[in-house]
Amino acid sequence: MQGAEPKPSEELILNAAVKVFTRKGYAGARMEEIAKEAGINRALLHYYFRDKETMFNIIFETKFKEFFTGMFGVFQSNASLTEKIRSIIDHEITVLSKHPDLARFVIMEIAQQPDRLIQFGQKLGFNPRMMLQNFQKEIQQNVQEGKIRPIDGRQLLMNIISICIYPFVAKSIIKTMMQMDENTFSDLMEKRKKDAYEFIINAIKP
Amino acid sequence: MQGAEPKPSEELILNAAVKVFTRKGYAGARMEEIAKEAGINRALLHYYFRDKETMFNIIFETKFKEFFTGMFGVFQSNASLTEKIRSIIDHEITVLSKHPDLARFVIMEIAQQPDRLIQFGQKLGFNPRMMLQNFQKEIQQNVQEGKIRPIDGRQLLMNIISICIYPFVAKSIIKTMMQMDENTFSDLMEKRKKDAYEFIINAIKP
DNA sequence: TGCACTTTTAACAATTTTGTTAAACAATTA
DNA sequence: TAATTGTTTAACAAAATTGTTAAAAGTGCA
């Protein structure tokens, strides 16, 4: 009988595996490194999780959910367009600040195997296309009502997402080039919630 | 004596290696796959290039240059701020449209080993920090002269770069979610040169 | 305690991936 | 043509990585 709460080792392994997989990706991750990180024998990895691929899928599913769920929650809400924009920015920056490797990991692994997007999307029961389409319709409507400047909904959507996510994907480059330490970067991202919002709002207001 | 033009095999191998490395990354790339892609025996890879790492470094240097050089060329020009912005957008979208895996590859490999940014930057003789600092000063000056709305230079810089690069990094996700085929995506990116420029200009104009 | 059961490990085996070597083949030229 | 050089391959060797097994160690309880 499978208990509800995971054994300490199982959780230990999972945490270690998350670290290694999200940092190195599937191809770069080593079972040895995961075991070392968890402070246990490599064979135990196979005792709790059949093999590398099984482990990866469990972790990828978690991270996939973490990456997409909140975003789609916002899209589905019935707030105004500007409120939605504020929520998306706020949510994305908050989540990615907490999980530094999340975006890069999910994006890279989907780029490696694009069908994972369909596969895990279905498994988690959401339909990305619908949500995006609705959001784009909403933009069109706002344009027609003269609430915002004329703009291609796809471009606006890409702009919002790019502005939120890219700095985390390219974090190491940005930190080096702008000579920031970890704290400076965090602070800048916190400030970015406001700055990015104003930037986008100014860009689209009539 | 080393000739100027590379032998057909050497070039064949290099082209194959570029494909495989940029698609799969260092860890995911297989010498076997490169050989197959080039249509030759695996041992020949080691005849022309000592080992996997040597091959990778040659290719990474090329791609690193491709990714950063033009961008910094624009930063160094003495065009106006808005002209610089137009040039950056134009250049980035043009380059990344031609080399679909370029951004993802360079970003990922630097994330894997951040010191490569310093290392290859020095090797190619450019100082990213200087250029970025000058660009940020230019932004500050434009703000003080009332030419653009008050904005943190770092944020504006990140916004411009994010808007240009992210769509290519997350291309497979975007294509799937927005139900685009390759051609539609290309067209959208071509149109984006204008759309992104207008978006950013509107965002910063006083 | 001793029995049944789970967890953990060391040692081993299999597989995958990289790198090497010696010989075949091709081209060039003395 | 035969000697020389450079190119290519098949076969082999080495290393790295993953996966398995049998036994040891730990746990709870009749």
Is B54 part of a structural domain of the chain? no
Task: Tell whether B104 lies on the interface with A, counting CB pairs under 8 A.
Answer: yes
B176 with A107: Cβ contact below 8 A: no
* pLDDT value for A128: 76
Pair B38, B82 in one domain: no
Return the CATH number at A25: 1.10.10.60
Pair B85, B30 in one domain: no
Is A56 part of a structural domain of the chain? no
- Report whether pLDDT(A4) > 50: no
Is B122 part of a structural domain of the chain? yes
Minimal C-alpha gap between A73 and chain B (Å): 16
Pair B16, B95 in one domain: no
Could you tell me the pLDDT band of residue A7, with boundaries at 50, 70 and 90? low
* 3-class DSSP assignment, residue B63: helix
Report the residue of chain A nearest B193, measured CA to CA. A155
Of the candidates A52, A65, A67, the one whose C-alpha atom is nearest the C-alpha of residue A21 is A52
Of A107, A177, A195, the CB nearest to B132: A177
* pLDDT value for A3: 34
Pair A106, A139 in one domain: yes
Pair A35, A123 in one domain: no
Enumerate residues 11 to 50 of chain A having a beta carbon within 8 A of any beta carbon in chain B: 24-28
Return the CATH number at B160: 1.10.357.10
Is A55 part of a structural domain of the chain? no
Of B176, B202, B204, the CB nearest to A118: B176
Pair A78, A119 in one domain: yes
Stated in angstroms, how far is A7 CA from D29 C1'? Answer: 20
Pair A31, A133 in one domain: no
Contact of B66 with B99, CB cutoff 8 Å? yes
Is B101 part of a structural domain of the chain? yes
Could you tell me the pLDDT band of residue A9, with boundaries at 50, 70 and 90? confident
> How many whole angstroms separate alpha carbon A199 and alpha carbon B63?
32
> Within 10 A of B193 (CB to CB), how many other CB atoms are there?
17
Is B17 part of a structural domain of the chain? yes
Over residues B118-131, the pLDDT tens digits come to 999 999 988 877 88
Q: What is the average pLDDT score of chain A?
A: 94
Pair A111, A19 in one domain: no
Over residues A35-79, the pLDDT tens digits come to 999 999 999 999 999 999 999 999 999 999 999 998 888 888 889
* pLDDT value for A129: 78
Number of domains in chain B: 2
* pLDDT value for B132: 87
* pLDDT value for B122: 93
* pLDDT value for B127: 81
Percent of chain A whose predicted confidence (pLDDT) is above 90 = 86
* pLDDT value for B5: 47
* pLDDT value for A6: 55
Q: Please provide the size of chain A in residues.
A: 206
Is B123 part of a structural domain of the chain? yes
* pLDDT value for B119: 95
Of the candidates B34, B36, B94, the one whose C-alpha atom is nearest the C-alpha of residue B59 is B34
Distance, first Cα to last Cα, chain B: 61
Pair B69, B116 in one domain: yes
A176 with B149: Cβ contact below 8 A: no
Per-residue CA distances from B42 to A47, A111, A130, B32, B47 (Å):
37, 26, 47, 6, 9
> Within 10 A of B113 (CB to CB), how many other CB atoms are there?
11
Contact of B163 with B199, CB cutoff 8 Å? yes
Residues in chain B predicted with pLDDT less than 70, given as ranges, are 1-7
Pair A168, A92 in one domain: yes
Could you tell me the pLDDT band of residue A2, with boundaries at 50, 70 and 90? very low
The nucleotide minimizing the C1' distance to residue A28's CA is D17
Pair B193, B136 in one domain: yes
* pLDDT value for B159: 98
Enumerate residues 131 to 160 of chain B having a beta carbon within 8 A of any beta carbon in chain A: 132, 149, 151-152, 154-156, 158-159
* pLDDT value for B7: 61
Is B90 part of a structural domain of the chain? yes
Pair A142, A166 in one domain: yes
Q: Which domain range does residue A37 map to? A: 1-49
Over residues A129-170, the pLDDT tens digits come to 788 888 999 999 999 999 999 999 999 999 999 999 999 999
Q: Please provide the size of chain B in residues.
A: 206
> How many whole angstroms separate alpha carbon B181 and alpha carbon B175?
7
> Within 10 A of A117 (CB to CB), how many other CB atoms are there?
21
